[in-house]
């Protein structure tokens, strides 16, 4: 059983989550609840839970204040939030599990399953550090992204990504330092995540950071040449849009 605590400043919200856990998530053992930072820290220290369901807004501070009360986060976290969509990129970029209120029971169970599969403590702390960095810059631009490979966890500056390439429903990242690695998620997921930045999906297999574009060869094969000397094919659907975006850079 997964020892779980709920930390939320709203009594009704805690009752709803307790009801969902009891009726939908059978591998969870609820061992306590709290409404604030101080009481939450005390609860976690006393119960040593495996999982913390944590609201962002608490009675005497924030969920971030609570987490900063621990030198090492040795429990999994699922944030429960009513934040607007613009704030959610900080979660996505940091690979942090989150649920929007009102909580959907199926999404709660899926998030708990993913939390169970999330592994090492150092990975957990790395993701949280990325999240804090991204959230502090929420009104400007998310700066860091957490990427998992089969062997490592990377914390990458978004601006250091030159391009992404689809490989058999996975995505290979090419970085400014000439490093590349394969992430077991499809290119579409990163296309959605990086939408609104300087990235462009110029081909079904290629997502590029236009910051590194050198020229677009319109004649012949319609190749986009990047600073790492790669030549990326541009499909006919993306050609006109790419030329318009070049005018804005």
Angle at 50 between CA 144 and CA 72, to 5 degrees: 50
Domain boundaries, the chain: 2-136, 144-248
The reported pLDDT for the residue numbered 140 is 59
State the residue for tokens 């394969």.
182
Reported as a single tens digit per residue, the pLDDT across 67-122 is 889 988 889 899 988 865 556 777 777 778 888 889 999 999 999 888 777 644 45
> CA 48, CA 31: separation in Å to the nearest integer?
9
Mean pLDDT calculated for residue range 196-213: 92
The reported pLDDT for the residue numbered 116 is 72
Is a pLDDT exceeding 90 seen at residue 163? yes
Reported as a single tens digit per residue, the pLDDT across 119-145 is 444 567 777 777 777 666 655 566 889
Please give the C-alpha separations between residue 107 and each of 4, 87, 185, 221, in angstroms, as whole numbers.
17, 19, 19, 45
Query: The pTM is what?
Result: 0.68
* Higher pLDDT, residue 137 or 215: 215
The reported pLDDT for the residue numbered 246 is 73
> CA 57, CA 78: separation in Å to the nearest integer?
14
Q: 191 with 178: CB under 8 angstroms?
A: no
Q: What's the fold here for domain 144-248?
A: OB fold (Dihydrolipoamide Acetyltransferase, E2P) (2.40.50)
Angle at 140 between CA 226 and CA 55, to 5 degrees: 120
The reported pLDDT for the residue numbered 153 is 85
Q: What is the mean pLDDT of the chain?
A: 86
State the residue for tokens 């999906």.
201
Q: In the CATH scheme, what architecture does the domain 2-136 have?
A: 3-Layer(aba) Sandwich (3.40)
Q: 144 with 156: CB under 8 angstroms?
A: yes
The reported pLDDT for the residue numbered 119 is 47
Reported as a single tens digit per residue, the pLDDT across 25-41 is 888 999 999 999 999 99
The reported pLDDT for the residue numbered 81 is 84
Is a pLDDT exceeding 90 seen at residue 165? yes
Q: Tell me the two tokens of residue 248.
A: 């804005």
Q: What is the percentage of the chain residues whose pLDDT exceeds 70? A: 90
The reported pLDDT for the residue numbered 132 is 73
> Where residue 60 falls among pLDDT bands split at 50, 70, 90?
very high
* 112 HSE (CA, 13 A, CB side): 27
Mean pLDDT calculated for residue range 150-168: 92
Paired sense of beta strands 2-7 and 51-55, if any = parallel
């Amino acid at each position: 059983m997964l020892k779980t605590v709920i930390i939320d400043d709203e009594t009704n919200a805690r009752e709803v989550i307790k009801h969902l856990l009891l009726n939908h998530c059978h591998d969870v053992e609820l061992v306590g609840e709290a409404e604030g930072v101080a009481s939450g820290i005390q609860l976690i220290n006393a119960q040593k839970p495996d999982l913390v369901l944590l609201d962002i807004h608490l009675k005497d501070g924030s969920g971030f204040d609570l987490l900063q009360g621990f030198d090492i986060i040795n429990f999994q976290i699922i944030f429960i939030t009513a934040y607007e969509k613009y704030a959610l990129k900080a979660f996505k970029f940091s690979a942090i599990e989150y649920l929007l209120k009102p909580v959907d029971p199926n999404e709660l169970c899926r998030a708990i399953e993913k939390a169970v599969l999330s592994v090492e403590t150092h990975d957990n702390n790395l993701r949280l550090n990325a999240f804090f960095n991204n959230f502090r810059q929420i009104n400007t631009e998310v700066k860091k992204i957490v990427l998992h490979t089969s062997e490592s966890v990377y914390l990458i500056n978004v601006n250091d990504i030159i391009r992404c390439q689809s490989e058999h429903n996975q995505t290979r990242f090419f970085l400014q330092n000439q490093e590349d690695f394969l992430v077991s998620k499809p290119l579409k997921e990163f296309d959605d995540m990086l939408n609104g930045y300087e990235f462009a999906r110029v081909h079904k297999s290629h997502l590029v950071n236009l910051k590194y574009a050198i020229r677009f060869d319109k004649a012949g094969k319609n190749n986009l040449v990047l600073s790492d000397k790669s030549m990326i094919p541009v499909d006919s659907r993306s050609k006109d849009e790419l030329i318009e975006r070049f005018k804005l850079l």
